[in-house]
Structure 1
Amino acid sequence: MEIVEVGPRDGLQNERRALDPATRVRYIEMIVAAGATRIEAVSFARPDRVPQMAGAEEVMAGVPRASGVRYSGLVMNPRGATRAIDCAVDEANIVVVATDEFSQRNQGATLAETLDRLPDMVAQLHDAGIATTVTIGAAFGCPFEGEVPVERIAMIAETLAPLPLAELALADTIGVAVPRDIRERFEVVRSASGHATRAHLHNTRNTGYANALAALEVGVRALDASTGGIGGCPFAPAATGNIATEDLLYMLERSGWTADIDREAVISATTFVTEQLGIEPEAMLGRAGGFPATRRRAE
Structure 2
Amino acid sequence: MIAPQVVARDNLPQRVRIYEVGARDGLQNEKQVISTVVKAEFVERLVAAGLRTVEATSFVHPKWVPQLADAEDLIDRLQPVDGVRYVVLVPNAKGLQRALDRGVRDIAIFASVTETFSRRNLNRSVAESIEMFTPVVEQARAAGVGVRAYVSMVCGDPWEGKVPVTQVVDVATRLVALGCTELCLGDTIGVGTPGHVRALVRALIAAGIERDQLGVHFHDTYGQALANVLAALQEGVTTVDSSAGGLGGCPYAESATGNLATEDLLWQLHGLGIETGVDLHALVRTSLWMAEELGRPSPSRTVQALAASVGAA
Q: In which range does the TM-score fall when normalised by the shorter chain?
A: over 0.9
Q: Name the structure 2 match of 1:237.
A: 254
CA distance in 2, matches of 1:191, 1:100: 24
TM-aligned CA deviation for residue 56 of structure 1: 0.6
TM-aligned CA deviation for residue 15 of structure 1: 2.2
TM-aligned CA deviation for residue 265 of structure 1: 0.9
* Counterpart residue identity of residue 27, structure 1: F
Asked if 1:186 corresponds to 2:189, the answer is: no
Asked if 1:88 corresponds to 2:89, the answer is: no
CA distance in 1, matches of 2:57, 2:181: 19
Equivalent runs, 1:81-160 vs 2, <5 Å? 81-160=96-175
Deviating more after overlay: 250-259 vs 116-125: 116-125
Matched length: 291
Deviations 1:210-243 (A, max 9, x none): 1111111111110011111111011111322211
- Closer/same/farther in 2, CA of residues 26 and 276 from structure 1, 3 Å limit: same
Asked if 1:277 corresponds to 2:284, the answer is: no
Q: State the SS of the aligned residue for 1:116.
A: helix
Is contact 2:20-2:241 (8 Å) kept? Answer: yes
Identity %: 38
Is contact 1:198-1:221 (8 Å) kept? Answer: yes
Q: State the SS of the aligned residue for 2:27.
A: helix
Q: Name the structure 1 match of 2:4.
A: none
Is contact 1:161-1:193 (8 Å) kept? Answer: no
TM-aligned CA deviation for residue 162 of structure 1: 2.5
Q: State the SS of the aligned residue for 1:162.
A: helix
Q: Name the structure 2 match of 1:250.
A: 267
Aligned-residue CA RMSD (Å)? 1.5
TM-aligned CA deviation for residue 286 of structure 1: 2.1
Q: State the SS of the aligned residue for 1:232.
A: coil
Deviations 1:91-146 (A, max 9, x none): 11111111121111112211110112222111111111110111101111112211
Is contact 1:161-1:192 (8 Å) kept? Answer: no
Asked if 1:23 corresponds to 2:38, the answer is: yes
Is contact 1:50-1:234 (8 Å) kept? Answer: no
2:77 to 54, 59, 62: 62
What 5-or-longer segments of structure 2 have no aligned partner?
1-15
1:222 to 236, 239, 263: 239
TM-aligned CA deviation for residue 259 of structure 1: 0.6
Q: Name the structure 1 match of 2:226.
A: 209
Is contact 1:12-1:18 (8 Å) kept? Answer: no
* Counterpart residue identity of residue 297, structure 2: E
CA distance in 1, matches of 2:76, 2:23: 15
1:71 to 73, 78, 86: 86
Is contact 1:160-1:193 (8 Å) kept? Answer: no
Q: State the SS of the aligned residue for 1:13.
A: coil
Is contact 1:190-1:197 (8 Å) kept? Answer: no
* Counterpart residue identity of residue 135, structure 1: Y
Is contact 1:134-1:168 (8 Å) kept? Answer: yes
* Counterpart residue identity of residue 71, structure 1: Y
Deviations 1:47-92 (A, max 9, x none): 1111121111111001121111100011222222212212222211
CA distance in 1, matches of 2:208, 2:125: 22
Deviating more after overlay: 71-80 vs 159-168: 159-168
Q: Name the structure 1 match of 2:179.
A: 164
Q: Name the structure 2 match of 1:199.
A: 216
Is contact 2:109-2:150 (8 Å) kept? Answer: yes
TM-aligned CA deviation for residue 158 of structure 1: 2.6
Q: Name the structure 2 match of 1:295.
A: none
Q: State the SS of the aligned residue for 1:96.
A: strand
CA distance in 2, matches of 1:141, 1:174: 7
Q: Name the structure 2 match of 1:286.
A: 303
- TM-score, normalised to structure 2, is 0.89
